[in-house]
Amino acid sequence: MSHRSLDYTRLSQVDTLVRRIGRGRIRPDQALIALESIMTAGHPYPRAVATFGWALMSGALTMLLGGKPTLAVVAFVTTALIYAVNVRLSHWGLPYFFQQVVGGFLATLPAALIYRLSIEYGWDVQPYRVIVAGIIVLMAGLSLVGSVQDAITGAPVTGAARFFEVVVFTGGVVAGVGMALRVTSELGATLPPMQQQPFDYAPLPILVASGGVAAAAFALAGYAQIRALTASFLAGCAGALVAGAVLNLGLGPIVSSTVAATVVGLAGGLLARRAVVPPLIVAVAGITPLVPGLAVYRGLSELMAGQTTSALTNMATALAVGCALAAGVTLGEWVARTIRRPHLPPNLRPHIGGITFRRVRD
């Protein structure tokens, strides 16, 4: 059984093939051969590079969340371990849901042990930043954006199926984190519950830079082409900048996520055209730093502390933020397509059989 992974290079190649088919530049038999060649080709670079991308993304997210460089190193090593273990479990045929459970467990356990040591030696450590970064990494590869886009654009059946898959796999992450919190509590390494108070992110310059690095690292982990990394970095910077600015205005996570995702979708649609990559790659990478891992961990922490109402509120907030991100990206991409589309007067639009067609750029 092969490891379930993203491959944005294949997506780019399929997108190019579809454009060639639409322009009539390739025959159907040639298109079939080309598609088979794309689907059977190996990844463009070794798995170790993808592992480095996931680990780098986790370290950058820890910095974005206000963590210190030493804590970012812990997140880097932890995520590399999670990826290596899950690849091995996949080779053994373990279903992906249980891989998410293992990932959530491994993302939490080292942080709890470090917190236990910090109490003994007087270190100033905030372990939940490592856990939140791990949750975001595990949730980043799920197709939330695609599922909501399907629902918005008139494909409710596939949208519902993909959204249910996202919910189930996210439930695996939640279960793994919850199990780790229970185990560490029994071992005497209880993590402190997060309070319902404003969260201290990194200063804005570090926030923007970390967001860009995390987005580019996600694209790298997804085997994206090199030219997509720069566009992803810029989209991640833009999303983090807008989200940080809106949060500083006190408008809350849902509004900030919606506005930031719309900007990312717009930037992705415009930057992707210059980079000659599908806009979805840049948009998904750009919103990765905005995935609501913080709300998920807050909900779990409160659930373990017996605060059921607050826990359900945070879980609902996480779901709302996820949907807001997907909806914002969809709106931003639509604006980008509208900007790129030439608006021809009626007398210049081609007519075939009494039907008026709009001329649309590829």
State the pLDDT at residue 275: 65
pLDDT of residue 195: 55
**Dist CA 129 CA 106 (whole Å):** 14
Distances from the Cα of 199 to the Cα of 23, 114, 149, 220, 236, angstroms: 51, 21, 30, 29, 20
Phi-psi region of 131 (alpha: psi -120 to 50; beta: other; left: phi over 0): alpha
Q: Which helix (H) or strand (E) holds 267?
A: helix 252-275
pLDDT digits (tens, 9 = 90+) for 308-321: 888 888 888 888 88
The letter for the amino acid at 305 is A
Cα 254 off chain centre by: 16
pLDDT of residue 327: 86
What residues form DSSP beta bridges with 356? Answer: 351
pLDDT at position 340: 65
- Residue that has been written with the tokens 């029994």 in this structure: 186
Rounded alpha-carbon distances, angstroms, from residue 324 to 24, 148, 287: 38, 9, 11
In the chain, the percentage of residues whose pLDDT exceeds 90 is: 15
pLDDT in tens, 58-103: 999 999 988 888 889 989 999 999 999 998 998 898 999 999 999 9
3-state SS class at 2 = coil
257-288 pLDDT tens trace: 899 999 988 887 887 767 667 777 888 888 88
Indicate whether 355 pLDDT > 70. no
With DSSP H G I counted as helix, E B as strand and the rest as coil, what are the percentages for the chain, rounded to 5? Answer: 75, 0, 25
User: Which of these, 222, 219, 241, lies nearest to 232 by C-alpha position?
Assistant: 219
CA-nearest of 36, 45, 18 to 229 is 45
pLDDT band for position 208 (cuts 50, 70, 90): very high
Write the pLDDT tens digit of every residue in 118-151. 777 777 777 788 888 888 888 876 777 677 777 7
Provide the 10 A C-beta neighbour count for residue 323: 18
Residue 194 has pLDDT above 70, yes or no: no
In the predicted structure, residue 342 carries a pLDDT above the cut 70: no
Share of the chain above pLDDT 70, in %: 87
Of 31-35, 113-117, 197-201, where does the model show the most confidence?
31-35
Amino acid found at 70: T
Contact 142, 167 (CB under 8 A): no
- Picking from 191, 291, 282, 297, the residue whose alpha carbon sits closest to that of residue 243 is 291
Number of CB atoms found within 10 A of residue 199's CB: 17
Each residue's pLDDT tens digit, 209-265: 999 999 999 989 888 888 888 888 988 999 999 988 888 887 888 898 899 999 988
Per DSSP bridges, beta strands 351-352 and 355-356 are antiparallel
Q: pLDDT digit string (tens) for 156-175? A: 888 888 888 888 888 888 88
Average pLDDT, the chain: 81
